[in-house]
Amino acid sequence: MNYLICVLQQMLKETRTFTQIMFESYTYLYCFITLSLLPSGFTMLRAFSHTNGRCVFHYTKCWHHRKSVLAIRREDVNAWERRAPLAPKHVKELTKMGYKVLVQPSNRRAIHEKEYVKAGAIIQEDISEASLIIGVKRPPEDKLIPKKNYAFFSHTIKAQEANMPLLDEILRQEIRLFDYEKMVDHKGMRVVAFGKWAGVAGMINILHGLGLRFLALGHHTPFMHIGMAHNYRNSSQAVQAVRDAGYEISLGLMPKSVGPLTFVFTGTGNVSKGAQEMFSALPCEFVEPHELKEVSRSGDLRKVYGTVLSRHHHLVRKRDGQYDPVDYDKHPENYISRFHIDIAPYTTCLINGIYWEQNSPRLLSRQDTQKLLVPVKSAAGAMDGCPELPHRLLAICDISADTGGSIEFMTECTTIDNPFCMYDADQHITHDSVEGSGILMCSIDNLPAQLPIEATEYFGDMLFPYIEEMLLSEGSEPLEKQNYSPVVRNAVIASNGTLTPKYQYIQKLRESREQAESLKMSVEKRVLLLGSGYVSGPVLEYLTRDSNIDITIVSVMKEQLEQLTKKYRNVTPVHMDVLKHEEKLSSLVKKHDLVISLLPYSAHPFVAKKCIDNKVNLVTASYLTPAMKELQESVEAAGITVISEMGLDPGLDHMLAMECIDKAKEVGATVISYTSFCGGLPAPEHSDNPLRYKFSWSPQGVLLNTIINIPPGGALLDSVTPMDFFPGLNLEGFPNRDSTKYAEPYGIQTARTLLRGTLRYKGYSRAMGGFVKLGLINPDPYPLLSSTAPPLTWKELMCKLVGIKSPAEHHVLKEAVFSKLEKDKSQLEAVEWLGLLGDELVPAADSIVGALAKHMEMKLPFGTGERDMIVMRSEIGLRHPSGHLEDKFIDLVVYGDNKGHSAMAKTVGYPTAIAAKMVLDGEITAKGMVIPLTKNVYGPILERVRAEGIMYSTRSIIKQ
């Protein structure tokens, strides 16, 4: 009543007619009576206002017994999240209106706390008194407060699996959730979004990325001077950087060989507009989509070209090739996109701002992209220093960050920390780099966080009109009693412990996905692993990451079995010698989907026959021997896959060679030479014995794969060559018999030189040559060493090998051995160091070389804390169509882990395991004998071994 009297007094002071005063008095009295009739506990907020002599009545309510409290929570899920949902100017308006605003302290927030304090906010940690708690991104589940109103981007409307625990907790705590993403107008357009600033930041980022990609392709461009969006204090600074780059473009400083640059923007919303706004800082010309083809070929290099793509530009009905917008909205499944035919071939950079709806056509599929990435033939007169682009489509900035959406192969977002990756459509793989084959991808899902202050103010302007009605309700009240506007009501995902009717479909989506996952879980894959030696660790470690894979491991080594089954889950041990229990092996093979044999190569034909009989796939790391090749027809008839040569050497050496050879052929180059040397060695500091060697994998395998390949007289060991490509390692190399057999599989019949060999430290070959002279590498059966024969000492065995009567005095035997070694003191030193002239018993074995292998395993193990290393060097000589020559060098150096896997185990085990997983997952479907010489096999494996830390480098030397 006092308020009404004050209002009347004010009107009398103003120039009013009697009629005006009476009308407005009755109006104010009506308002006062209306107030008195409201339910107890309510009052009117901003009930009256004077505008040009008129009274305006606002139906806004609040609790009169306390102020309504709003809280702005701290963003704590992502380190880059520096935004807030409201800026200080919005807080100031709220406090003027009588609301209390709490702001959780945060040093990460881009807008300083003191600005919020100036606006009237209170900085405090405890926000429990707030009725509405707002943020940008989701809060952690343990920070939720029961029965409150929350507003944030929840990312739950597609039943996103990662956020379902959050939704469950919201329902359990009876929280009312407003999701900004679903605040839309009557046309379905979002009214609260950061869209424009996602477009601005995304455009800045991809211009920066293009600078890096062009550089990787051999071109310096003005884009190199544009940084990532977050490197600028504000968008004005970024605009200036883009303008500076544009100025250089306008001066004609873009490399001519890259041709005119074209940018395609999809969508007409705020995202696309924001990107176009930044793009306009360049010297640009917008053209119609149908004009792209012409400008991409003959456009002005002093400008860049842009086009805005709408649905009618690329969508057509399957039956008649027409586009009907009304029909499309009803039946999107009846349409296809011609983007990959009409637009993409003439696009340098795609800026994608559209989301994909189920059943609607995608903008780009993997198959579409494979065709777009076919290398362009070099034009006549092209120079090495001024290369042409490998293909037109260089980059995609997917601002929508809609994984598996309109860009089908964008299955994982990039991050502000690692903003770019390359997508190789041929291999269907991505790698974190701006180099290599494929399309540069940028798909950051929190782009506006890179320009946090402007994004906050922009978003707050859009959100502010709806804050009051969300604030004036209590989360514990029934939803149906709230007088929300349609925009706000339609954004309520959950309330009072249940999903609202509009969003109950989320539970159905979850149930269908869980059912599919349950079905998938029920289809477990069973792997039989034969052998528990050095290499088995990485194989088990890799495969057991997939909880759907059950592994049975078979070995004669009981202690190793026990250790492995304790260390890895889903592993069942079987203590058995597979070569002596044929029926049991066959039974085991039959129960599994795939067999991995880590046994000596001589056992593989035996295992392969069991796989053929039971139609089970097989993977080995060993050479595809003649005995295995004889099974080719049987393998094909059984319809199974048998993969060989999937380790290090053979294995990674093939893959690295073929990657280089295939890329050379793509540009028309001819291979004129190929050499590859590889060796497993102790790290230099642990090469402290006459052989300069220790065993990081099966000694029998080392001897069988190197020593017994040496013909009588050790001719190959006489071909030892110093290897000085790593001078500090003091290496030597010797050839692996006839390497010319790889000319045809590699497709390099034009090569004049083809050599594969083994690396060792200098001195190894000389010492091994002594063993050759003494007959210690004889693989033939030797009954005197069988387990049933009387024990034999090394001294006694050596007497037999050098042809003197046993027992002999030590000095007599030594002199005979020295004579047999042709008076070579270093070879004698190696024999003595190994104790081969002493009284130690020779291990029981089928052959002398087998006994030597067992003995060397005991004498030359890696000690605690010692590590091994792998060194591989491949050199490929190329002749290009222009006539110039190029030498490609591929280096692989891997060290073992002191407390983990050896380098040998990693470089053999991981490729083997990856190949096995590819067979299980249907990535390798070829039947018959397979070795990793095709891109669809070696491509994914090389990518995945890099993820396991097996890194290689390449470099080139161009010769005129």
Answer whether 106's CB lies under 8 Å from 72's CB.
no
Positive or negative CA dihedral for 757, 762, 768, 769? positive
* Rounded Cα gap, residues 107 and 387, in angstroms: 48
Which pLDDT belongs to residue 130? 96
Report the run of H or E that residue 519 belongs to, with start and end.
helix 505-522
Q: Which of 75, 794, 62, 876 is nearest to 469 (CA)?
A: 62
Q: Is 902 helix (H, G, I), strand (E, B) or coil?
A: coil
Question: Residue 895 is encoded by which pair of tokens?
Answer: 């060290």
Answer whether 272's CB lies under 8 Å from 200's CB.
no
List the beta strands (DSSP E) in 729-789: 731-735, 753-761
Instruction: Give the contacts of 30 (CB within 8 A, at least 6 positions apart).
Output: none
CA-to-CA dists, residue 12 to 1, 16, 19, 56, angstroms = 17, 7, 12, 19
Q: Which of 439, 458, 440 is nearest to 449 (CA)?
A: 458
Looking at residue 210, its amino acid is L
CA-to-CA dists, residue 656 to 516, 676, 888, 933, 943, angstroms = 38, 10, 11, 9, 11
Q: What is the pLDDT of residues 126-178, one digit of tens each?
A: 999 999 999 999 999 999 999 999 999 999 998 888 899 999 999 999 999 99
Chain centroid to CA 852: 45
Most distant CA atoms of the chain, gap in Å:
143
List the beta strands (DSSP E) in 221-314: 262-266, 284-286, 304-309
Task: Say what the pTM is.
Answer: 0.55
Which pLDDT belongs to residue 958? 80
Which pLDDT belongs to residue 697? 56
Looking at residue 562, its amino acid is E
Active site residue 649: yes
Positive or negative CA dihedral for 364, 366, 368, 369? positive
Bridge partners for 957 per DSSP:
887
Report the run of H or E that residue 587 belongs to, with start and end.
helix 582-590
Question: Residue 282 is encoded by which pair of tokens?
Answer: 């360049």
Which pLDDT belongs to residue 564? 87
Question: Residue 492 is encoded by which pair of tokens?
Answer: 């309520």
Encode burial over 780-818: b for 16+ CB neighbours within 10 A, e otherwise.
eebeebeeeeeebbbbbbbbebbeeeeebeeeebbebbb
Chain centroid to CA 819: 61
* Rounded Cα gap, residues 892 and 951, in angstroms: 7
Question: Residue 166 is encoded by which pair of tokens?
Answer: 């959050």
* Rounded Cα gap, residues 437 and 435, in angstroms: 7
Burial of 26 (0-12, 13-18, 19+ CB in 10 A): exposed
* Rounded Cα gap, residues 518 and 601, in angstroms: 39
Which pLDDT belongs to residue 66? 52
947: left (phi over 0), alpha (psi -120 to 50) or beta: alpha
CA-to-CA dists, residue 527 to 543, 587, 617, 664, angstroms = 9, 13, 10, 38
Which pLDDT belongs to residue 273? 95
Which pLDDT belongs to residue 429? 59
Give, as one character, the DSSP assignment of residue 390: S
* Rounded Cα gap, residues 586 and 613, in angstroms: 8
Q: Reply yes or no: is the peptide bond before residue 807 cis, omega within 30 of 0.
A: yes
* Helix, strand, coil content of the chain in percent (nearest 5): 40, 20, 40
Q: How many CA atoms lie within 13 A of 281 on its CB side?
A: 21
Bridge partners for 759 per DSSP:
733
Q: What is the pLDDT of residues 899-949, one digit of tens each?
A: 788 899 999 999 999 999 999 988 898 899 999 998 889 989 998 998 888
Which pLDDT belongs to residue 383? 67
* Rounded Cα gap, residues 262 and 622, in angstroms: 50
Question: Residue 793 is encoded by which pair of tokens?
Answer: 């000492």
CA-to-CA dists, residue 126 to 69, 276, 651, angstroms = 12, 42, 60
The whole-number mean pLDDT for each consecutive block of 10 residues of the chain, a chain of 960 residues, reads 44 46 45 40 37 36 61 93 97 96 96 97 96 96 95 91 92 96 91 94 97 94 96 96 97 93 94 96 97 95 96 93 93 94 95 86 86 67 74 93 86 91 72 82 94 97 96 90 94 96 92 71 80 87 88 88 84 87 87 91 90 93 89 92 91 91 87 91 86 69 48 53 84 79 87 88 85 87 88 90 87 90 90 90 88 86 84 92 87 85 90 93 90 90 89 83
The number of residues in the chain equals 960
Which pLDDT belongs to residue 921? 87
> Per the residue annotation, which of 179, 398, 649, 868 is the catalytic one?
649
Direct distance between the N- and C-terminal alpha carbons of the chain, in angstroms, rounded to an integer: 99
Torsions phi, psi for 452 (to 5 deg): -70, -35
Instruction: Give the contacts of 694 (CB within 8 A, at least 6 positions apart).
Output: 682, 686, 687, 860, 861, 862, 866, 868
Residue 224: how many other CB atoms lie within 10 Å: 17
Report the run of H or E that residue 56 belongs to, with start and end.
strand 54-57
Question: Residue 463 is encoded by which pair of tokens?
Answer: 């959100």
Burial of 127 (0-12, 13-18, 19+ CB in 10 A): buried
